[in-house]
Structure formats: structure tokens, C-alpha cells
Structure 1
Amino acid sequence: MSARAFEDLAAAPLAPSIQDSPHAEQALESGPLKRDLVAGLEKGLAVIEAFDQERPRLTISEVAVRTGLTRAAARRYLLTLAHLGFVTQERKMFALTPKVLRLGQSYMHSARLPRIVEPELHKLAYAMKEASSAGVLDGNDVICIAATSAGRVVSPTLQPGFRVPAYCAGTGRVMLAAMAPAESDAWIARQTLTALTPNTVTHPDRLRIEIARARQLGYAAVDQELELGLRTVAAPLKNYRGEVVAAMCISVHASRMSMDQMVENCLPPLMQAQAHLRMLL
């Protein structure tokens, strides 16, 4: 597929059956029809997502395996992305370019949620002199959408755009707790629970207990499950309808504060921030 063809696919208008139908709103709520989706755009984004921290450079064959594309199709998408400036090629290896950051910046600059949450994070961080962050659930992970360190570098994961496994993150626990028990059980069943530290909860039944505890208490306290030395207390962020749309946490180094001290000192201001944001979300 040529670069021009790729662009034409992405720019193709929606079919009249959805745009002009009097039942358009109902159709959108139930999900788009397959004929209204641009397969080329979907596959192009899948190629971008094939690259990660563990595999920053990939061959055509490796991209094909990771995306489920044929080798020929993977080659065409990589060449198209290279032509557009999103991918660079060195012999047989391909890698993403900094231009990919534009996609994330478009969200950060246009989305309402990070703009509303960020001032509250700054208040928390500088009042507590500890790092604070907010994230949203995306499949198996939590993506950080806003963060501030207050001068304390606690963890490299506390920065916008960083993804962490939801099962061992405080923000992930409270968002899983917002699900119905049957839904969170189904989510757990799909996971590979890997021990990232000696403290990581990896038994499904134990994880269910922790999620149920977060559901009952309204917050989650996680002690060095994501990485050694990192302790967090997290609370869900709800909109005015009571729906959980994100989560917020305060993170400290284990050498500075015990878990009991975290709950005692960090939880009250965290819950105050939660109540204030509910009026804005």
C-alpha cells in the first residue's frame, strides 16, 4: 500500500448509512458496523503498538508476528509509516521516531481530564512533599495521564504516558474495584500475574480479596508490588454521576513512610482532592 493510499483510507468519510440515518445515535452507542471501519488505519496503529520498551527495534517478520499481519502487509505498513516520518529504518531493523509522540501530545493537549486533574495533583504534591499522579485503565494496564514529583523522584513510572500492570498498581486496584465483581473476576482470569517484586500479589484469589477490600474501603494501599521501595495509596476519581473515570494516587519511597503512616497522613488529603474533583468531572 502506498503512502497516498494509506492517507486516502484514513481520510475516507463514514458511510451514509451511519452519518445520515435517523438512528445514527443508536448505532454509535451499540458500536460501529464493520463496513464503517477503516481497516488500514487500525492495522497501521497496531504496527506502531508492536514496538515497546523490551523490543524497540523490530524486523518486518517480527512486526508481522506481533500484529498478526502477513509479512508482505507488515512491510507495506512499515514503509508507509517510514515515509510519513513515524518509523525509521536501518538495514533490516525498524524503530519508532519521536514524531510518534505527537499522537500522545494531541491527547494531552486536547483532553479535558488531564487538564482538570493536574492542578489538584500539584496541590497534593506540594502540600505532602510527595509525588502524586493520575491514571486511566486501558485493557490490562494503567496509563499515567498526569503526574508531579514535588522534587522527589520516586519512580520512573510516575510520568505521563507510562503504562504499568493494573493488577499491582494502586490506581489499577481502585479502578478494578469499580467494576462489578463478575466483571473484575473475568478481567483477572485474562491476566498473566507476574511477580515484579517479592511483594507482588500473583494468586488470583488473593487479588480478588485485595480488589474486594478496595471496593469496601474506597481506596487501595499497595506496598512495593510494582517495584521495590514504592508505596502508594490510591483513590478512584468519579464524575458527578458517580462513575469512575480515572484514579489518583500519592506515592512515597518506603524508607520515608510506613504503610500505616501513608494511610494516616496521605489518605485524608487524597480523599479531599477526590471530593473536589467530583464537582468538576
Structure 2
Amino acid sequence: MNAFHRQVPDIEPEAADVSPAAPRAAASGPQKRDLIAGLEKGLAVIAAFDQERPRLTMSEVAALCGLTRAAARRYLITLEHLGFVSSERKMYSLTPKVLRLGQSYMHSARLPRIVQPELHKLAFALKEASAASVLDGADVICIAATSAGRLVSATLQPGTRVPAYCTANGRVLLAALPQNEIDDWIARQTLAPLTPNTITHGERLRIEIARTRAQGYAAVDQELELGLRTISVPLRNYRGDVLAAMNVSVHAARVSMDQLIDDCLPALLHAQSGLRNLL
């Protein structure tokens, strides 16, 4: 028995720990008996912490993850023992060690390594910020980015997560989905007005996604944050599958929407074409 098992009690799957809302494996996915429930729940505990909830109590973790308080306590004790979580006065927070999980992806995944050099070329040719993202549930996650010396938005850096419904990259990625999946996705979202420009009506969003699919790009004017305008195109592999989206972002005070499209779309399409045979 190793040191970990001597110091930390084993975590066994318990029926009481399962939330009624917990996702079930798809019919075509693995059998339930092949899944490790403890790993799934431990990762859910880590994911419960975010920008709005940087510090959580044990009870809050239990509620967010669909766990009993006793189970949440054991997961937090385990994560603290492993160095991924710290505690102070009954409040828990993530430690920098969690960055290892993201770094493992960034250092090993093929997609960011292929896209990053093209982002550099694009950003420095246009003298504007550029980023690539993938869809993850309700959000898009930035997997590669470069600022070209312009600080346009704090969201334009690897690892940041922003809502898909009000971003150009998000609409490009949603436009690649079958229509029934788009409809289901919109029905599940809370379309909050992040700025006065944010589209918050489901039917209007559906029209914008359809427009994106028809024209091959998305242009968003200050819907995520005031002052930020973005244009995006899909990144397809040689089979035509959309793997990611790539954008150029500008400050609204410097660049109009017409200028954004006229000046940046040709460069984006050129980069898109160059990446197709590499992805």
C-alpha cells in the first residue's frame, strides 16, 4: 500500500452522491460499469471554482456538484492532500498546481501547436489581436492567442472561457452543428445581456447563427464587452470537419465594423485556407 492510500481514505462510489441532474453516458458511449465515478466527481469539484466563485465552502461545493456534504468533504480533503486545493477558515480555493492540467493539454495537443504560428502571422500582419477557440458546452475556450502588442480584452488568452452565444468564435462553432443540436443548445441557455448590444432573444440568435453558416464567418459588435469587435472564421480539416474557430479582435474606437470585415476577413480566409491541409 502506497503513502497516498495510507493517508487518504479511498473514495467509493455511493448512490447518495449522484445528482439527479448528473449527465449520463450517451447510448453510443461507454458502459456505466467502465466509468470511474470518483474521477468524474473529483474533476467536477475542480471545475466548480471559477471567476465568479474563486472561494467555496464545503456546502457550496456539495450543492454545485450534486454531492452530499460528506462526499464533498472527502473530495476536498483528497484534492487538498494532492496539492490542487487549499483551505482557510472553512473556505476552499484552487492552487496554482491546477495549471498543470491545462499545461498538459497546451504542451501535448496538436491543435494549439499548429494554429499558434498562423495566429502570430495574422496578428502581426494586421497589427491586431488574434485567437483560436473550441466549443465546450455553453462556452468557448481559448486554446491559442497572440496580442500583437495590443491589449484589446483580457479574455483573449489561452485558457479563458467566455459564453458562446455572444462571441464570434462561438457563433462560428455553433453554425457547424446540425440544426436540431443548435435548437437544443439555444433552449438550454440563459441569454444574459452582457452589454446593451448583446442578443438575448433565442430566435434572433438562431438567425445570426444561420447567417454565419451562410456567409462563412461571424462578426460581433460589442456583445461580449463594450469596445470589443470581433470577426471569426471556422478552421476545418481536410475532410471539412470544423475543429476550431479563429478570430481577429479590435477596439471599437479604432475600427468600424465595415473596416473590420474589409481589412481582416481576407487575411482570416487566407489563414483558414493555409491551415486546412495541416489540421
**TM-score for the superposition, normalised by structure 1:** 0.91
Cα deviation, residue 91, structure 1: 2.0
* Cα pair distance change 1:210/1:74, threshold 3 Å: same
The structure 1 segments of at least 4 consecutive aligned residues displaced by more than 2 Å after TM superposition are: 2-10
Q: Is the CA contact 2:135–2:173 (under 8 Å) kept in the aligned structure 1?
A: yes
**Equivalent of 1:151, from 145, 149, 152?**
149
Residues 1:4 and 2:34 are matched in the alignment: no
Q: Secondary structure at the match of 1:247?
A: strand
- Partner in structure 2 of residue 240 of structure 1: 238
- Partner in structure 2 of residue 206 of structure 1: 204
Take 1:229 and 1:264, find their aligned partners in 2: how far apart are those partners? 19
- Partner in structure 2 of residue 264 of structure 1: 262
- Partner in structure 2 of residue 279 of structure 1: 277
- Partner in structure 2 of residue 163 of structure 1: 161
Consecutive unaligned residues of structure 1, counting only runs of 5 or more, are 11-27
Consecutive unaligned residues of structure 2, counting only runs of 5 or more, are 13-25
Take 1:198 and 1:114, find their aligned partners in 2: how far apart are those partners? 33
Within-5 A mapping of 1:52-71: 52-71=50-69
Cα deviation, residue 179, structure 1: 1.1
Amino acid at match of 1:236: P
**Equivalent of 2:127, from 122, 126, 129?**
129
Q: Secondary structure at the match of 2:152?
A: coil
**Equivalent of 1:197, from 195, 199, 208?**
195
Q: Secondary structure at the match of 2:165?
A: helix
Q: Secondary structure at the match of 1:235?
A: strand
Q: How many pairs align? A: 263
Cα deviation, residue 4, structure 1: 2.4
Take 1:59 and 1:174, find their aligned partners in 2: how far apart are those partners? 37
**TM-score for the superposition, normalised by structure 2:** 0.91
Q: Is the CA contact 1:130–1:149 (under 8 Å) kept in the aligned structure 2?
A: yes
- Partner in structure 1 of residue 19 of structure 2: none
Q: Secondary structure at the match of 1:160?
A: coil
**Equivalent of 2:95, from 94, 97, 121?**
97
Take 1:182 and 1:146, find their aligned partners in 2: how far apart are those partners? 30
Cα deviation, residue 30, structure 1: 2.6
Q: Secondary structure at the match of 1:136?
A: strand
**Equivalent of 2:172, from 174, 178, 183?**
174
Cα deviation, residue 186, structure 1: 1.1
- Partner in structure 1 of residue 16 of structure 2: none
Take 2:5 and 2:269, find their aligned partners in 1: how far apart are those partners? 51
Larger helix proportion of the pair: 1
Take 1:7 and 1:114, find their aligned partners in 2: how far apart are those partners? 38
Q: Is the CA contact 1:3–1:80 (under 8 Å) kept in the aligned structure 2?
A: no
Q: Is the CA contact 2:197–2:222 (under 8 Å) kept in the aligned structure 1?
A: yes
Take 1:77 and 1:264, find their aligned partners in 2: how far apart are those partners? 52
- Partner in structure 2 of residue 14 of structure 1: none
Take 1:29 and 1:144, find their aligned partners in 2: how far apart are those partners? 30
1:113-143 CA deviation, whole Å, 9 max, x = no partner? Answer: 0000000000000000000000000000000
- Partner in structure 1 of residue 216 of structure 2: 218
Q: Give % identity.
A: 73
Amino acid at match of 1:193: L
Task: State which drifts further: 223-232 or 180-189.
Answer: 180-189
1:199-253 CA deviation, whole Å, 9 max, x = no partner? Answer: 0000001001100100000000000000000000000000110000100000000
Take 2:137 and 2:9, find their aligned partners in 1: how far apart are those partners? 28
1:62-102 CA deviation, whole Å, 9 max, x = no partner? Answer: 10000000000000000000000000011211110000000
Q: Is the CA contact 1:9–1:41 (under 8 Å) kept in the aligned structure 2?
A: no
Q: Is the CA contact 2:11–2:74 (under 8 Å) kept in the aligned structure 1?
A: no
